[in-house]
Amino acid sequence: MNTSTVAELLSQDASSQIIEVKGWVRTFRANRFIALNDGSTLNNIQCVVDFENFDETLLKRITTGAALHIKGELVESQGKGQKVEIVVSSLEVLGDSDPETYPIQPKKHSFEFLRENAHLRTRTNTFSAVMRIKSALSFAIHKYFTENGFYNMHTPMITGSDAEGAGEMFRITTLDAKNPPLDENGEVNFKEDFFGKEANLTVSGQLEAETYAMSLGKVYTFGPTFRAENSNTSRHLAEFWMVEPEVAFMDLAGNMDLAEDFMKSVIAYVLEHNKEDLNFLDQRLFDEEKTKPQTERSPMRLIEKLKFIADNNFKRVSYTEAIDILRNSKPNKKKKFKYLINEWGADLQSEHERFLVEKHFKCPVILFDYPANIKAFYMRLNDDEKTVRAMDVLFPGIGEIVGGSQREERLDVLKNKMAELDIPEEELWWYLDLRKYGTAVHSGFGLGFERLVMFATGMSNIRDVIPYPRTPQNAEF
Ligand code: 4AD
Ligand code: MG
CA 32 from centroid of its chain's CA atoms: 41
Percent of the chain with pLDDT over 70: 100
Cβ atoms of residues 243 and 220 within 8 Å: yes
Distances (CA, A) of 314 to 215, 394, 419: 31, 9, 36
Q: To which H or E segment does residue 240 belong?
A: strand 239-248
**Average per-residue pLDDT in the chain?**
96
For ligand 1, atom 7, name the residue with the nearest CA. Answer: 446
Between the two ends of the chain, the Cα-to-Cα distance in Å is 37
Query: Are residues 314 and 431 both part of a single domain?
Result: yes
Please tell me the pTM assigned to this model.
0.97
Of the candidate ranges 80-84, 143-147, 232-236, 358-362, the one whose mean pLDDT is the lowest: 80-84
Query: Are residues 127 and 76 both part of a single domain?
Result: no
For ligand 1, atom 20, name the residue with the nearest CA. Answer: 448
Query: Are residues 308 and 247 both part of a single domain?
Result: yes
Query: Are residues 330 and 459 both part of a single domain?
Result: yes
Read off the pLDDT of residues 15-50 as tens digits, 9 standing for 90 and up: 888 999 999 999 999 999 999 999 999 999 999 999
Query: Are residues 86 and 149 both part of a single domain?
Result: no
Query: Are residues 87 and 158 both part of a single domain?
Result: no
Q: Which domain holds residue 82?
A: 3-102
Q: Answer with the residue of higher pLDDT: 165 or 92.
A: 92
Does the beta carbon of 401 lie inside 6 Å of ligand 1?
yes
pLDDT of residue 1: 62
Query: Are residues 145 and 48 both part of a single domain?
Result: no
Read off the pLDDT of residues 417-464 as tens digits, 9 standing for 90 and up: 999 999 999 999 999 999 999 999 999 999 999 999 999 999 999 999
Residue 87 sits in a domain whose CATH number is: 2.40.50.140
Query: Are residues 280 and 409 both part of a single domain?
Result: yes
Number of neighbours of residue 285 by Cβ within 10 angstroms = 19
Q: Nearest ligand, CA of residue 404?
A: 1
Q: Which atom of ligand 1 is nearest to the CA of 403?
A: 1
Does the beta carbon of 391 lie inside 6 Å of ligand 1?
no
**Is 113 within the bounds of a domain?**
no
Cβ atoms of residues 134 and 462 within 8 Å: no
Does the beta carbon of 250 lie inside 6 Å of ligand 1?
no
Does the beta carbon of 465 lie inside 6 Å of ligand 1?
no
Read off the pLDDT of residues 211-230 as tens digits, 9 standing for 90 and up: 999 999 999 999 999 999 98
Q: What does the buried/exposed string (b/e) look like for 91-109 if buried means 16 or more CB atoms within 10 Å of the residue's CB?
A: bebeeebeeeebebeeeee
Number of neighbours of residue 17 by Cβ within 10 angstroms = 12
Reply yes or no on whether the pLDDT at 476 is more than 90.
Answer: yes
The letter for the amino acid at 57 is: T
Query: Are residues 24 and 144 both part of a single domain?
Result: no
CA of 132 to the centre of ligand 2 (A): 27
**Is 476 within the bounds of a domain?**
no
Q: Which atom of ligand 1 is nearest to the CA of 209?
A: 12
Query: Are residues 84 and 154 both part of a single domain?
Result: no
Query: Are residues 309 and 344 both part of a single domain?
Result: yes
Does the beta carbon of 205 lie inside 6 Å of ligand 1?
no
CA-based radius of gyration for the chain? 27
**Is 115 within the bounds of a domain?**
no
Read off the pLDDT of residues 303-359 as tens digits, 9 standing for 90 and up: 999 999 999 999 999 999 999 999 999 999 999 999 999 999 999 999 999 999 999
Q: What does the buried/exposed string (b/e) look like for 333-346 if buried means 16 or more CB atoms within 10 Å of the residue's CB?
A: eeeebeeebeeeeb
The letter for the amino acid at 231 is: S
Cβ atoms of residues 142 and 469 within 8 Å: no
φ/ψ bin of 27: left (φ > 0), alpha (ψ from -120 to 50), beta (otherwise) = beta
Reply yes or no on whether the pLDDT at 182 is more than 90.
Answer: yes
Does the beta carbon of 242 lie inside 6 Å of ligand 1?
yes
CA of 212 to the centre of ligand 1 (A): 20
State how many domains the chain has: 2
Q: Is 302 exposed, middle or buried (0-12, 13-18, 19+ CB in 10 A)?
A: buried
Q: How far apart are CA 102 and CA 96, in angstroms?
A: 11
Residue 262 sits in a domain whose CATH number is: 3.30.930.10
**Is 177 within the bounds of a domain?**
no
**Is 242 within the bounds of a domain?**
yes
Reply yes or no on whether the pLDDT at 117 is more than 80.
Answer: yes
Read off the pLDDT of residues 278-297 as tens digits, 9 standing for 90 and up: 999 999 999 999 999 988 88
